[in-house]
Chain A
Amino acid sequence: MAVSTETPALAANRPAPAPHRRRYRWSEVVAGYAFLAPALVLFAVLGVYTIVYGFSLSFASWNGFSPHWTWVGVQNYVDLLWADPARAPRVHQAALHTLAVMVAVPLLTVLISFPLALLLNSIRRFKTVLRSIYFLPYVTAGIAVYFAWQYILEPGGAINTLLRTVGLGSLQQPQGFLGNPSTALPTMIVVTVWSAVPVSMLLYLAGLQSMDGNLIEAAQIDGAGWWRISRSILWPLLRPITAVIVLLNVRDSLQGFQTFLIMTNGGPGDHTNVLGLEAYRLAFLARLGPTLGLASALGWLLFLAALLLAAVNLRVMRRVT
C-alpha cells in the first residue's frame, strides 16, 4: 500500500476527531483509555511526579540524606542569580560561556551546512555515499566519539601533528587544545558544530529536493549565476528551515552539556563550564553539601530560558515568513 511509505508528517492532512461532534461511543472511550494506559502510567510516575517533585525541591535546601527538607522559598533562585558570593559568580561565568556557545554554534552550523547542502545537491555521482559520510557524526554522537576527539586534540595528538606537517606549526598547542584556557572553549564549539552539521545539512538537502525546479531554470535562462541563485532564490526560500535549525541548536546549546562533561568537565579552571554542567555538578558531584535545591532551581531557570527563547523564535519566524 502506498500509504505506508509516505513520510508521516506529509500525510497527516486529516484533522483530529473533534471531541464535541457527537456523543462518545462507550466502547471507544474504554478502548481509548486502555490503549493510552501504559504511556499515561509511565508519564504520571516519571513525568508528572518528578516534575512536581523537582519544582518543589527548588524551593528547599537539602543534601540528599537528611530526613527533612528545609524550606527556603525563592532563596535558591536569588542565590544563584546574584545573592550568594560563592555561587552567583560561577553561574554568571557559566552563563557567559553558554551564551557564547548559543551564538556561535547555530551561526557556524548554518554557515557550513547551507553551502554544503547546496554543493551536495548539485552533484550527481557519490551523492548518497557522501551523505552517509557526512551523517556519521550524528549517529555516533556519544562518549566514544568525544574520546576520539580528545585523543586527536592531545598535546602529542593528530591535530598538532597535522598543523606541523602543513607548515602551520605556529598554531600548534603544546598544552593541547583543551588544556589551554584560551583555546578550550572555541575548541568545544568546533566539536559541537561538527556534531550539529549532519542534521542541519540533511534538512537543507530535503528542502532543496522538494523545491520547484522550474523556478531555478527560469532564473538560469534569465542569466543568473550560481551565486545569484543561491543568494536571491534558495536562501530566502529555505528560511523556514534555517529558523528550525537555529531553534534546535540554540536549545541544544542551552541545555546540552554532555560533551563538556565528557571532554573537559568544565576545565581548565572552569573555562568551559556551562549552565547545564553547573546544574549537574550541584546535583551529583557536591557530596554532602546541601545543593540539591540549588541544582533544581538552576534546572528550572534553564527551562524558563528555553521557553522564552522558543517564544522569541516563534515571533521572529512569523515576522520573517
Chain B
Amino acid sequence: MKRALAARIGVGLVLAVYAAVSLYPFAWMISAAFKDQFEVVAGGHLIPHHPTLSTLAQTWTDLHFFDYFLNSLEVTGFTAVLVVLVYAASGYAFAVLDFPGSRVFYRMFLALLFVPGVTVLLPVVLLENKLGLLGGHWGLILPFVNGSAPLSILLLTNGFRAIPLELREAARVDGAGELRIFSTIYLPLARPILITIALLTAIPTWNEYLLTRVSLNDPGTFTLPIALQNLQSGAVLHYNTLMAGAFIVVIPVIVLFVAAQRYFVNALVGAVKA
C-alpha cells in the first residue's frame, strides 16, 4: 500500500510539472500585461507588486488593438463561415451524389495537403497583386478558405456518408430537391462536424501570420498578429505592452477552446484516424 501511495504521488508530481511547463509562458505573459513599464523592466517576480490595468487599457484603446481585434474578427468570421458553406456543399456532392469525375476531384483536393505553404505563398501574392485583391481582407479570406479544403472535405465527406441514404430516398419520394435535402436533412444532422470544421478553421486563421504579413500594408487593415508584430519592431520595446497585446490575441482563442473542447478532441482524433 505504501508503495502504491508513493507511486501515485510520483505520477501526480510528474503531471503537475508538465502542467507548469505548459502554462509557464502564459503565466509570464499575463504577469507582464499587468505590470507597468518600470516594474516589467525590473523583472524578477511573477506576481506584480503593483498590478495595474492601465497597460491593457492603453493597448486596447491608444494602440488601436480594438480596431485590430475587429479586423481579426472579420477575417476569421468570414473564413470560417465560407469554409463551412463551401465544403459542406462539396462534401455532400462527394458523399451522396453520383457524377463523373467525383473520385478524381476528391483525390485532387486531398493531394493539396502535401503542397508546402511556402511553395504557393509567392504565386498567391503575385496573383492577388494582379487581381487587385492584395492588401484587402478578401485577399486573405479566399486563400485561407482554399487552404482549408483538404481537411474540411475529408471530414465532411466522411460525416455525410454516415447519414443513412434511406433518409434521402424518402425525401426524394416526397418531392424534395437536392438543395432542400441538403439543407433540411444533411446539414442539421452533421451539426457537430460543422462546428468542428468551423473551429479547426477559425483558430489557425485567428493566429495566421505568414500570408497576412506579406499582404497587408495599411494599418487600417491590420489583424491582431500583424499589430503585435508592429509593436515589437517599434522604436522602443516595452515588454509590458507587447505582452498585453499578446494577451488580447490569446484570450479569445482560449475562451473558444474551453467552451468547445469536446468538438476539438473529436475532430483531431477523427482527422488522424481518417
Task: Write the residues of chain A forming the contact surface with B, with a CB cutoff of 8 angstroms.
Answer: 1, 3-12, 14, 16-17, 19, 21, 24-25, 27-29, 31-33, 35-36, 38-40, 42-43, 45-47, 49-51, 53-54, 57, 64, 112, 115-116, 119-120, 122-123, 126, 130-137, 139-145, 147-149, 151-152, 154, 156-158, 161, 194, 198-199, 202-203, 206, 226, 241, 244, 248, 254-255, 257-258, 261-262, 276, 279-280, 283-284, 292, 295-296, 299-300, 302-303, 306-307, 310
Which residues of chain A have C-beta atoms less than 8 A from B87's C-beta? 39
Cβ-based interface call for B214 (8 A): yes
Beta-carbon contact of A7 and B99 below 8 Å: no
Cβ-based interface call for B71 (8 A): no
Beta-carbon contact of A136 and B269 below 8 Å: no
Known: A19-B98, A24-B98, A202-B269. A12 touches B207 (CB 8 A): no
Known: A4-B190, A42-B145. A54 touches B86 (CB 8 A): no
Beta-carbon contact of B19 and A130 below 8 Å: yes
Known: A1-B189, A140-B254. A299 touches B122 (CB 8 A): yes
List CB contacts (< 8 Å) of B117-150 with chain A.
117-127, 142-143, 145-146, 149
In angstroms, Cα B89 to Cα A81, docked, is 44
Known: A145-B250, A149-B25. A276 touches B116 (CB 8 A): yes
In angstroms, Cα B159 to Cα A2, docked, is 13
Beta-carbon contact of B272 and A244 below 8 Å: yes
Task: Write the residues of chain B forming the contact surface with A, with a CB cutoff of 8 angstroms.
Answer: 7, 11-12, 14-15, 18-19, 21-26, 28-29, 32, 43-44, 46, 85-87, 89-90, 92-100, 102-103, 105-106, 108-109, 112, 114-127, 142-143, 145-146, 149, 153, 155-159, 161-164, 178, 182, 189-193, 203, 206-210, 214, 224-225, 228-229, 232, 239, 242-243, 245-247, 249-250, 253-254, 256-258, 261, 264-266, 268-274
In the complex, which residue of chain A has the Cβ closest to the Cβ of B206? A142
Interface of A is mostly: helix
| Among candidates B102, B145, B258, B274, residue contacting A8 with C-beta atoms closer than 8 Å | B274
Beta-carbon contact of B21 and A194 below 8 Å: yes
Which residues of chain A have C-beta atoms less than 8 A from B245's C-beta? 144
CB distance from A271 to the nearest CB of B (A): 20
Name which of A33, A122, A198 has the most chain B CB atoms within 10 A of its CB: A33
Beta-carbon contact of A31 and B269 below 8 Å: no
Beta-carbon contact of A144 and B161 below 8 Å: no
* In the complex, the 5 A-B pairs of residues with the closest C-beta atoms, listed nearest first: A142-B207, A32-B99, A299-B119, A11-B162, A50-B123
CB distance from B177 to the nearest CB of A (A): 8
Beta-carbon contact of B249 and A4 below 8 Å: no
In angstroms, Cα B99 to Cα A208, docked, is 40
CB distance from B53 to the nearest CB of A (A): 19
Beta-carbon contact of B43 and A136 below 8 Å: no
Known: A32-B102, A43-B109. A283 touches B121 (CB 8 A): yes
Beta-carbon contact of A10 and B26 below 8 Å: no
In angstroms, Cα B100 to Cα A28, docked, is 10
Which residues of chain B have C-beta atoms less than 8 A from A147's C-beta? 228, 232, 242-243, 246
Beta-carbon contact of B253 and A143 below 8 Å: no
New contact pairs (8) apart from A142-B206, A255-B118, A299-B116, CB-CB < 8 Å:
A4-B190, A10-B273, A21-B98, A120-B15, A137-B22, A142-B207, A144-B228, A194-B21
Which residues of chain A have C-beta atoms less than 8 A from B161's C-beta? 11-12, 14, 16
Known: A8-B193, A50-B123. A144 touches B246 (CB 8 A): yes
Interface of B is mostly: helix
In angstroms, Cα B96 to Cα A298, docked, is 40
Which residues of chain A have C-beta atoms less than 8 A from B15's C-beta? 116, 119-120, 123, 126, 130
Which residues of chain A have C-beta atoms less than 8 A from B109's C-beta? 39, 43
CB distance from A256 to the nearest CB of B (A): 9
Which residues of chain A have C-beta atoms less than 8 A from B106's C-beta? 16
Which residues of chain A have C-beta atoms less than 8 A from B125's C-beta? 284
In the complex, which residue of chain A has the Cβ closest to the Cβ of B155? A8
| Among candidates A8, A42, A54, A140, residue contacting B158 with C-beta atoms closer than 8 Å | A8
CB distance from A68 to the nearest CB of B (A): 14
Beta-carbon contact of A24 and B273 below 8 Å: no
Beta-carbon contact of B124 and A46 below 8 Å: yes
| Among candidates B120, B189, B229, B242, residue contacting A54 with C-beta atoms closer than 8 Å | B120
In the complex, which residue of chain A has the Cβ closest to the Cβ of B144? A46
CB distance from B129 to the nearest CB of A (A): 9
